[in-house]
Amino acid sequence: MRAATSWELQSMLAPFVDRQQPVEIRGSGSKSRVGRPMQTAASISTASMHGIWMYEPTELVMSAHAGTPLAQIEAELAGNNQMLAFEPSDIGPASGGRRGTQTIGSVFATNSSGSRRITVGAARDHLLGIEAVSGRAELFRSGGRVMKNVTGVDLCRGLSGSWGTLAVLTEVTFKVLPAPEKTATLVYLGLPDDIGVELMCAAMRLPFEVSGTAHLPQSVAGRLETAVLAEQGQSITALRLENFEKSVDYRSNAMRAALKVYGNPIIIGSTTSLEFWNELRRLSILPYTADTCLWRISTTPMKGPKVVAAIRRHMPTEVYYDWSGGLIWVEVAASADAGASDIRRAVAVHGGHATLIRADSAVRSSVEVFQPQSPLAERIVRGLKSTFDPLRLLNPGRMYANL
Amino acid sequence: MSLRMPQPDRAMIARRAEIAAALEKIAGPEAVIADEDGRRTFETDGLNAYRAMPLVVVLPKTTDEVAAILRYCHGEKIKVVARGAGTSLCGGALPLEDAVVVGVSRMKKVLEIDYDNRFARVETGITNLAISGAVGAEGFFYAPDPSSQLACTLAGNLAMNSGGAHCLKYGVTTNNVLGMKVVLMDGEILDIGGPHLDAEGYDLLGLMVGSEGQFGIITEATVRIIKAAEGARPMMIGFPSSEAAGQCVSAIIASGIIPVAIEFMDKPAIEVCESFAKAGYPMDADALLIVEVEGSEDEINDLLGRIARIAEPFAPTTVQISSGPAQSAKIWKGRKSAFGAIGRISDYYCMDGTIPLSQLPLVLRRISEICASHKLKVANIFHAGDGNLHPLILYEANDPEQAERAELAGAEILTLCVEVGGCLTGEHGVGIEKRDLMTTQFSRTDLMLQMRIKTVFDPDWLLNPGKVFPLDMLTMSGLPNAA
């Protein structure tokens, strides 16, 4: 079923509330293979609720219906030299879904942030206001259209990353930022993982607002479509600068001097930089295959290589590091538990959490896809679920088996 | 002043000595304040028109002590008001006569600083400025900078999701927190997030920040620290009208420049601040913008030059780039001491609405009309980049009738902010001050949902009662312990 308005969505949901039947909530469905498989009576999509209904470039704010394609939003912003600064990534294709179809609602519902997260914050940090329908089929609002707002409990953030398990977003209002005049990327070649991560953290300690840091070991770098980088045949450590042209030129020279112990980088300009960072956004270097599983690990940046080394003691992996080492995408061979116990143990030792992004549905129903929580956190999470969705109708079990 | 608080429970007040003794057993005699003079120190906060003597004050030193105190209070059904430095401007830390005040001011240790991973883990009784102080030697800072940063604690900043002048670029408290340790009302200790960038599961961090002491007491936090830019410098641009200043702000943002701060002052604010701080503000201007940018010397000159050119079409009466650190400090001193400066000439009531920038001319005009209709003067200070407006309504606190009028004018101004698409509070919080206005911004359904979330964290409604949610909603909610 596709609802075209929030009112229609409420009335579509109401009979399921009366009959206590669970419902799958989706946008375009590009991420429907992420999360635990669900048993639902029907599926309600927000994809027909589309359209940008407010855009004030001089106030850096836009409002759109939740089903508006992200691509449409980004095109509209680009027309005004603006952008979604948190650079939402597209995990659809990496998990076997369709590429480039995701909706703006799903971007916030999954708190999906790309490389620039390290400097400008996550998706949730850009969400200013929401309208949503709860599992009680009640329409509610939180936040607004202004940048600074501390009125009442912050449900915008509360719903970010809840994967449609608490409420259905019907409208989102978010902050946008000017697009940079120039982008340059300093690419260091041939560094092992630990030195690459050290370099990225060193770059973040410089006063130059590095807006993206990624390390691709040799084998993963070889998968790049950006030929000039793939052809190097070596690992790649990339540091991105974005600003007015004069600043980028000055800063890339200053950075190169400050980081000279790590070697002499090649510097790629705006066009190639955009191509490269967009590849990372699409996760096209980690393409879907049935014989691999993909994990997303969030940890303290400098501990990234240690987590990977600990995992590699148990299984071969292909990895790539973003967020100066704090975000690791780990590809492992498909297996009955997708390596969950060894991976979670490695993460437990060094801190952080792991989410299974790609695995077949049998695996996703047998292992914890999202990081298991402490009993106390689980108590709160259970309480929140029963607040928004007391009958457990919305995406039941997608994040946690019993919720 | 006219805001009603819940009736105190006389039987609980009668148990003062017994409760103080129990708390002394937990936290030691030096941590407990039960005598009248001692308690009087805590009877109000930054909204000092409202006062109430706390039942007992306890100042624990560790998270475990906080947990034991809350476990005891939970068992005895004693209400608790959490307190940082007591600088809240909305009555968020106002004590209740039948509630124990748990202050975190003695918990101010820096527990861990990690420059490579760019975080600091601290106890929340630390002052905002002390965090930047602890990491300043390495050129780092903690970004949110409320005007009270010398005194206010991180605990209070977390509770209110505080902002400041520089959050246009760096965000407010919630954007700068990675993890926390929270003591829930039943004494359980909840760890959320950590040094990694994204906490797992539902965004409990996002819910906790700005929850105004309703959900738990945050005793430790892991905050993001940021490498400071090579330099920063402000410029002053004076305008013949507020409209011109507002249009100039839009033009700066449209050009693709995001300054670290764009501060706006109207004529009354300029006059008072200038006579206090001798900052060199242009006295012939009707509105003043202080715009600050960051970077290297060349980058700063380039950006300030661009901004000066952008300002030209708006016929500025003054365009003055700070000549160096001494003048920059003066310019900021004038702005940051604005509240104090105005406080020297009059009592004032500080409002905190946020509006869409395009509504600025209308809102400023309506504010002067509203204040004039209540026969009161007003000065406006405004974080223009993000639409956060601080009208200061001047009144005589010893005159109850004037105080009443100031409150009425304030309520009208905040309602106006909501009507033009903004909100009741941009950075100060709801507390008691805006509690009864919440229904202008939220539907009953919205508020019920927020109140149910409160019930998840604090089922007995013992934490910071009488704040945030309109009192009549509590009775009507049907939630068993809310009323």
Return the CATH number at B90: 3.30.43.10
Quick check: is B5 in a domain? no
Element (DSSP H or E) covering residue B61 = none
Common-topology check for domains A6-178 and A292-366: no
B396-434 confidence digits (pLDDT tens) = 989 999 999 999 999 999 999 999 999 999 999 999 999
Nearest to B299 among A250, A327, A352 (CB): A250
Å from B29 to nearest chain A CA? 31
Boundaries of every domain in chain A = 6-178, 182-282, 292-366
Which of B204, B264, B449, B453 to mutate to test binding with chain A, by most A CBs within 10 Å of its CB?
A: B449
Are the beta carbons of A141 and B443 separated by less than 8 Å?
Answer: yes
Which among A266, A262, A128 is positioned nearest to A184, based on CA atoms?
A266
Check: CB of residue B239 under 8 Å from CB of residue B287.
Answer: yes
B88-115 confidence digits (pLDDT tens) = 999 999 999 999 999 999 999 999 999 9
Residue A206: its chain B contacts at CB < 8 A? 227
B337 has pLDDT over 90: no
Are the beta carbons of A58 and B423 separated by less than 8 Å?
Answer: no
Q: Within 13 Å, how many C-alpha atoms sit on residue A121's CB side?
A: 25
pLDDT at A264: 97
Q: For residue A207, what are its two tokens?
A: 């006063």
Residue A155: its chain B contacts at CB < 8 A? 449-450, 453
Which among A345, A348, A350, A316 is positioned nearest to A330, based on CA atoms?
A316
Residue B258: its chain A contacts at CB < 8 A? 177-178
User: In which band, very low, low, confident or very high, does the pLDDT at B456 lie, cut at 50, 70 and 90?
Assistant: very high
Residue B160: its chain A contacts at CB < 8 A? 150
Task: Give pLDDT < 70 ranges for chain A.
Answer: none
Are the beta carbons of A140 and B446 separated by less than 8 Å?
Answer: yes
pLDDT at B194: 95
Residue A173: its chain B contacts at CB < 8 A? none
Q: For residue B399, what are its two tokens?
A: 């005159």
Per this entry, what is the length of chain B? 483
Which of B170, B177, B196 to mutate to test binding with chain A, by most A CBs within 10 Å of its CB?
A: B196
Nearest to B201 among A205, A326, A370 (CB): A370
A-B interface: how many C-beta pairs under 8 angstroms? Answer: 253
pLDDT at A402: 83
B280 and B174 in one domain?
no
Q: For residue A164, what are its two tokens?
A: 């449609």
**Where in the sequence is the domain holding B369, given as residue range(s)?**
346-436
Q: What percent of chain B has pLDDT over 70?
A: 100
A261-276 confidence digits (pLDDT tens) = 999 999 999 999 999 9
Are the beta carbons of B200 and A250 separated by less than 8 Å?
Answer: no
Q: How far is CA A22 from CA A18, A41, A402, B190, in A?
A: 11, 6, 13, 31
Which among A63, A52, A73, A66 is positioned nearest to A9, based on CA atoms?
A66
Å from A94 to nearest chain B CA? 20
pLDDT at A25: 97
> Which DSSP state fits A179?
P
- What is the fold of A182-282? Alpha-Beta Plaits (3.30.70)
Which among B296, B424, B303 is positioned nearest to B353, based on CA atoms?
B424
Whole-number Å distance between alpha carbons of B235 and B239: 13
Quick check: is B256 in a domain? yes
Sign of CA dihedral B64, B70, B73, B79: positive
Q: Is B77 left (phi over 0), alpha (psi -120 to 50) or beta?
A: left
B261 and B199 in one domain?
no
Q: What is the CATH number of the domain that holds B410?
A: 3.30.70.2740
Whole-number Å distance between alpha carbons of B338 and B384: 16
B343 has pLDDT over 90: no
How many Cβ atoms sit within 10 Å of the Cβ of residue A190? 14
Are the beta carbons of A201 and B117 separated by less than 8 Å?
Answer: yes
Quick check: is B455 in a domain? yes
B359 and B275 in one domain?
no
Check: CB of residue A86 under 8 Å from CB of residue A95.
Answer: no
Which among A50, A47, A61, A58 is positioned nearest to A143, based on CA atoms?
A61
Q: For residue B16, what are its two tokens?
A: 């003062």
Q: Return the amino acid letter for A57.
A: P
Q: For residue A373, what are its two tokens?
A: 């929580």
Per this entry, what is the length of chain A? 403
Quick check: is B481 in a domain? no
Residue A374: its chain B contacts at CB < 8 A? 190-191
Q: What is the CATH number of the domain that holds B156?
A: 3.30.465.10
Quick check: is B40 in a domain? yes
Residue by residue, DSSP assigns B246-290 as HHHHHHHHHTT---SEEEEEEHHHHHHHHHHH-----TT-SEEEE
B463 and B391 in one domain?
no
Residue B112: its chain A contacts at CB < 8 A? none
Nearest to A351 among B195, B209, B423 (CB): B195
Angle, helix B325-336 to helix B267-277, in steps of 10 degrees: 120
ipTM of the complex: 0.96
CA-nearest residue to B360 within chain A is A59
Which of A134, A211, A299, A380 to mutate to test binding with chain B, by most B CBs within 10 Å of its CB?
A: A380
> Please, what is the average pLDDT of chain B?
95
For chain B, how many structural domains are there in total? 5
Whole-number Å distance between alpha carbons of A108 and A388: 17
Angle, helix A304-312 to helix A340-350, in steps of 10 degrees: 150
Quick check: is B45 in a domain? yes
Return the beta strands (E) in B310-430 as ranges.
Answer: 318-321, 347-350, 377-383, 388-395
Mean pLDDT to the nearest integer, B66-92: 97
Quick check: is B483 in a domain? no
Å from A235 to nearest chain B CA? 22
Residue by residue, DSSP assigns A263-301 as ---EEE-HHHHHHHHHHHHHTTTS---TTEEEEEEE--G
B116 and B86 in one domain?
no
B1 has pLDDT over 80: no
pLDDT at B379: 94
Residue B425: its chain A contacts at CB < 8 A? 149-151
Decide yes or no: CATH 3.40.109.10 for domain A292-366. Answer: no
Q: How far is CA B45 from CA B176, B431, B432, in A?
A: 25, 11, 11
B123 and B194 in one domain?
yes
The CATH code for residues A6-178 is: 3.30.465.10
Q: What percent of chain B has pLDDT over 90?
A: 88
Quick check: is B143 in a domain? yes
Angle, helix B16-27 to helix B63-76, in steps of 10 degrees: 150
Sign of CA dihedral B165, B167, B170, B175: positive
> Which DSSP state fits B26?
H
Output b/e per residue, B419-450; b: 16+ Cβ within 10 A: ebbbbbbbbbbbbbbbbbbbebbbeeebbbbb
Q: Return the amino acid letter for B376.
A: L
Nearest to A205 among B115, B197, B210 (CB): B115
Terminal C-alpha separation, chain B? 23
Residue B383: its chain A contacts at CB < 8 A? 148
Are the beta carbons of A206 and B227 separated by less than 8 Å?
Answer: yes
